[in-house]
A = this chain, B = another copy of it.
Amino acid sequence: MWKPDRSSKKPIYQQITDEMDRRIVYGEYPPGSFLPSERKLAEQLEVNRSTIVQAYEELRAKGIVESSAGNGTMVSKHMWEIHPSLTPNWRKYVDGGTFAPNLPFIRRVREVLREHESMVDFASGELSTDLFPNTAIQQLLREVPFEAHLGYDDPQGYLPLRESLATFLETHLDIRTTASSVLITSGSQQSLYLITQCLLTPGDAVAIEDPSYCYSLPMFQSAGLRLFRLPVYSDGMNPEDIRSLFRQHRIRMLFLNPNYQNPTGSILHPSKRSLLLNIAAELGIPIVEDDPFSLTSFDHQPPSNLKSIDTHSSVLYVGSLSKIAASGLRIGWLVAPQSVVKRLADARQQMDFGLSIVPQWLAHQFLATGLFDQHIHFLQDALAHKQALMIRALQQELQDLISFTPSYGGLNLWCKLEQPVDEFKLLEEAIKRGVVFMPGNVFGSEQGRIRLSYARPAIEDIGPGIIKFAQAYRSLLRG
């Protein structure tokens, strides 16, 4: 991103004037659109707000922008002799479209994280940089000659990767499959997107866990689905709840995350699993098993999964490397009956023409060599350690004000605020002190719950981050 050059002789405000002028001329800000607010641009460029005021003043003097009382700084419609109406009304286009935007809470958190690098991040359910297999990836890129074909690939994904995945799934997760039943996707997100777009129709009813990650996905809303709740208990959802939902709403699909459920961390009790599969099969309802976390298990023994005991072929199994290796690779997979895989692969062609060959080749090398096995042991131990640090800090700082059940895997600690406070206010207080988390609201949860992810922050930031969070919490109790 462009930043002013502090060593230049040209004054900073003048550099900013020139840059904004250039962006306007280049069409980044069309006539009639608004420039970023003075406050926001000042934050982005790391300058005083007064510098921006001066730069905008200069643009105004040149007639390039005009102030529109209360609305900010608008690019003049009279530039280049353009008649006001002679340009697309981009705002109208941007506000249209069928695709629902992200939830405001999530956008707020992302924006804060983008703008403040020093923020302690308990919000993002992802790994910290040091937990990625950086050395292994660099080594593979340097040492293994890249010989894959650089043209369009098989719509289902790179065959050698699908083959190494079939072996990987059997070895690590007891899932037996073949390369023909595997679709390579750009992570679990794309698997879920393809399922909602291709196998369901607007108006269809689906059941999701409550609370769950799915509530934070506008993709369900974009697909026009009606969502119904399956409450999650400490031993997971209750299979019998499916019957009543089916009777009332003709549920057409179940979205479940049975292992280290996001956000609660719970595991669906083994005794409930056959019952769940039998009820789903009896009612003819497919189950989407979202399983990003099984291989994070702290005791090196992943819990069993539904797919491995799915004799009815009811389960669409969704996994990825994002939470167990590196999210930036964008490699996920779906294991499903072949007709489903073919249908989804065909639709995906229309959306993005398939995935890049390079990360697929890399993921194949990573899984097929022993590098993954070394990595996953290291990761499991590191996550267990980070959770322990977080728990210790919470106990020290907030004793009886917060409660939680430690998990045996996953990236998150699901917490109950014993003195309920407004989650949105708490988030803002926390941001002021340099720490972010996810309000339970994002997961469709009742008030007074939050998700603290211990995977993302650096080890040395966990304790200080919890101290800041505790200060934010206590400030609202005093208030």
Bitwise, A179-192 to B at CB < 8 A (1) or not (0) is: 11100011101100
- Against B, the Cβ 8 Å flags (1 = close, 0 = not) of A104-131 are 0001000000100000000010110100
A212 to chain B minimum Cβ distance, whole angstroms, is 16
Say yes or no: B86 contacts A282, CB within 8 Å: yes
Residues A284 and B86 in contact in the complex (CB < 8 Å), given A23-B180, A219-B350: yes
Please give, as numbers and ranges, the residues of chain B lying within 8 Å of A179 by CB-CB distance: 1-2
Nearest B residue to A79, CB-CB? B311
Q: In the assembled complex, how far is the CB of residue A85 from the closest CB belonging to chain B, in whole angstroms?
A: 6
* Given A102-B350, A346-B101, A351-B190, A199:B26 Cβ within 8 A: no
Given pairs A94-B198, A94-B339, A126-B152, 7 additional interface contacts (CB within 8 A): A23-B338, A28-B177, A80-B311, A93-B340, A133-B150, A328-B356, A356-B358
Nearest first, the 4 closest Cβ-Cβ pairs linking A and B are A30-B313, A150-B326, A186-B352, A97-B198
- The listed residue (B91, B93, B312) touching A82 by CB distance below 8 A is B312
Contact A150 B132 (CB under 8 A): yes
Minimum C-beta distance from A26 to chain B (A): 5
Cross-chain contact A93 with B330 (CB below 8 angstroms): no
| A329 in contact with B356 (CB, 8 Å) | yes
Find residues 145-179 in chain A having any chain B CB closer than 8 Å to their own CB. 145-154, 159, 176-179
Instruction: Contact check, A181 vs B28: say whether CB atoms are below 8 A apart.
Output: yes
- Tell me, yes or no, whether A22 is within 8 Å of chain B by CB: yes
With an 8 A cutoff between CB atoms, is A424 at the interface? no
**A25 in contact (CB, < 8 A):** yes
Of A62-70, A136-144, A408-416, the stretch lying at the interface with chain B is A136-144
Q: Can you list 7 A-B contacts (CB < 8 A)?
A: A23-B338, A27-B177, A27-B311, A85-B282, A90-B313, A96-B201, A148-B328
Q: Is A281 an interface residue (CB 8 A)?
A: yes
Among candidates B22, B30, B86, B313, residue contacting A178 with C-beta atoms closer than 8 Å: B22
Instruction: Tell me the A residues contacting B by CB distance below 8 Å.
Output: 1-2, 22-23, 25-31, 33, 80, 82-83, 85-91, 93-94, 96-102, 107, 114, 124, 126-127, 129, 132-134, 137-138, 141-142, 145-154, 159, 176-181, 185-187, 189-190, 193, 197-202, 217-219, 222-223, 280-282, 284-286, 307, 310-315, 322, 326-331, 335, 337-340, 343, 346-347, 349-359, 362
A178 and B352 contact, CB distance less than 8 A? no
Chain B residues within 8 Å of A147, by CB = 138
For A358, what are the chain B residues with a Cβ–Cβ distance below 8 Å?
A: 328-329, 356, 358-359, 362
Tell me which of B126, B331, B339 contacts A356 (CB under 8 A): B331
Residue of B with least CB distance to A142: B142
Cβ of A352 and Cβ of B350 under 8 Å apart?
no
Residues on B with C-beta less than 8 A from A132 are: 150-151
Residue among B127, B189, B353, B354 making CB contact with A353, cutoff 8 Å: B189
